[in-house]
Amino acid sequence: MTGKQQSSFFSLRGSLLFLAILTLLSFTYLALRYSTPPPQVSKFSVTKLNDARGTGKEEECGGGGGGGEEEEELYSDTFHSPRVFKLNYEEMEKKFKVYIYPDGDPNTFYQTPRKLTGKYASEGYFFQNIRESHFRTENPDEAHLFFIPISCHKMRGKGTSYENMTIIVQNYVEGLISKYPYWNRTLGADHFFVTCHDVGVRATEGLELLVKNSIRAVCSPSYDVGFIPHKDVALPQVLQPFALPSGGNDVENRTQLGFWAGHRNSKIRVILARVWENDTELDISNNRISRATGHLVYQKRFYRSKFCICPGGSQVNSARIADSIHYGCIPVILSNYYDLPFNDILDWNKFAVVLKEKDVYQLKQILKNISDAEFVTLHYNLVKVQKHFQWNSPPITFDAFHMVMYDLWLRHHTIKY
């Protein structure tokens, strides 16, 4: 090899070595840059986000929007994930469409809602609200969900047996399935029905394909009777119209530790009455309060109580929970199996006390262990969620109707067969 060839050879080796070192340094830099985990959101960051709501500094936390009362509601810590709720809710308002099957005699069992009063008013309000809302579409091809308008309350008034109710509902639903192509596209996964009264629940439970496949929005959901939390929706049972105005900033007036009055129509209620009916700090009555004792005595006791006990009765749900929220009394849930309304949206631990039935024996001590500061926070949050447990006609943003629709929106994603 000549000297000139040797010089060229070493020059080539040097260039290759330089390129190899440069490539190694580049890969090392990129690996370090993109393998570094993103900064985690700390509790301090969340606190700063909450503080920013009151100082007009939402932009510093990556927020924005209109501000004001609506912005405060959207960023409320009563939600599991305020930002996710905000984005999903806005998308729902813009896109969500529901097709209502037009079939059925409106004067009998279909299309006819319950009256808008009483403890089963939720069913009637939903029927009325969905018909009048912008979510309804006359074009089934653009619908995300299909509403089966079953309303069974008139069957009971006509003396129809549960067996015959099931047959009537079955014939109606099977008629829809044979007449329209929509059920068979998803085996009913994008269909739903709404019922609050136990008559409607029992009349539909006999139709297995309806219970297993479609979305059930029901007032008495219990994990041990076939309710499927990720598929079905817990409909709030609201006694409207409320007899008295909502409770607000009235903490100083709540001198009674706890309150419950009602029928002993379940095991937990029997135990509650037996253990605590003679207590001086817990106002526990094992019978409903008679109207003879005074006007609206029952409702007025909500006003003066800090905590209102909500044990399951013959049905796991009751209007007592919504009453407690409306009157500003912290609900104390005593139930082993109960999917609370909007449980996947709202953090009930921020405005209620959720206990198991075995906790009834330590109930008084549990409530007394809640500090005054903790109670004030619970009460403050309770007032913030009152609007979610109120039905209106026409519906109002964030009210019970819109929260149910949001729950349905979360469940509308289905596999198209």
DSSP string across 334-398: E-SS---TTTTTB-GGGTSEEE-GGGGGGHHHHHHTS-HHHHHHHHHHHHHHGGGG---SS--TT
DSSP for residue 402: H
Positions of CATH 3.40.50.2000 in the chain? 249-387
Closest CA to 322 of 218, 400, 217, 403: 400
Higher pLDDT, 52 or 67: 67
DSSP string, 94-144: HH--EEEP--S-TTTTBS-PPPSSBTTHHHHHHHHHHHHSTTB-S-GGG-S
* pLDDT value at residue 29: 44
Higher pLDDT, 289 or 80: 80
Kindly report which listed range (20-34, 122-136, 396-410) carries the lowest average pLDDT score: 20-34
Q: How far is CA 31 from CA 22, 25, 36, 123, in A?
A: 14, 10, 8, 58
Cα separation, 77 vs 91, in Å, equals 21
124, with CB counted inside 10 A (0-12, 13-18, 19+), is buried
Cα first-last separation, the chain:
74
Give the pLDDT band of residue 14 (cuts 50, 70, 90). low
* pLDDT value at residue 341: 92
* pLDDT value at residue 39: 34
Residue 48 is which amino acid?
Answer: K
Judge: domain 249-387, CATH 3.40.50.2000: yes
Mean pLDDT value across residues 46-69: 37
Residue 272 pLDDT exceeds 50: yes
Residue 28 pLDDT exceeds 60: no
Tell me the average pLDDT of the chain.
79
Mean pLDDT value across residues 144-161: 82
Mean pLDDT value across residues 180-195: 92
Mean pLDDT value across residues 117-131: 86
* pLDDT value at residue 322: 93
Mean pLDDT value across residues 219-234: 73
* pLDDT value at residue 347: 96
The residues pairing with 332 across neighbouring beta strands, listed in sequence order, are 309, 353
Give the pLDDT band of residue 307 (cuts 50, 70, 90). very high
What pTM was computed for the model? 0.79
Residue 172 · residue 104 · CB < 8 Å: yes
DSSP for residue 240: B
Residue 66 pLDDT exceeds 70: no
The residues pairing with 217 across neighbouring beta strands, listed in sequence order, are 194, 233
DSSP string, 250-307: -GGG--EEEEEE----SHHHHHHHHHHTT-SSEEEESSPPPGGG-TTHHHHHHHHEEE
Residue 328 · residue 352 · CB < 8 Å: no
Cα-Cα-Cα-Cα dihedral of 250, 252, 253, 257, to 10°? 110
Residue 328 pLDDT exceeds 70: yes
Residue 281 pLDDT exceeds 50: yes
Mean pLDDT value across residues 245-273: 90
How many CA atoms within 13 Å lie on the side-chain side of 19?
Answer: 6
Mean pLDDT value across residues 39-48: 32
Cα separation, 351 vs 192, in Å, equals 29
Q: Phi, psi (5° rounding) for residue 233?
A: -125, 130
* pLDDT value at residue 72: 56
* pLDDT value at residue 395: 94
Higher pLDDT, 11 or 139: 139
Kindly report which listed range (62-76, 138-152, 370-384) carries the lowest average pLDDT score: 62-76
| pLDDT tens, position by position, 386-406 | 999 999 999 999 999 999 999
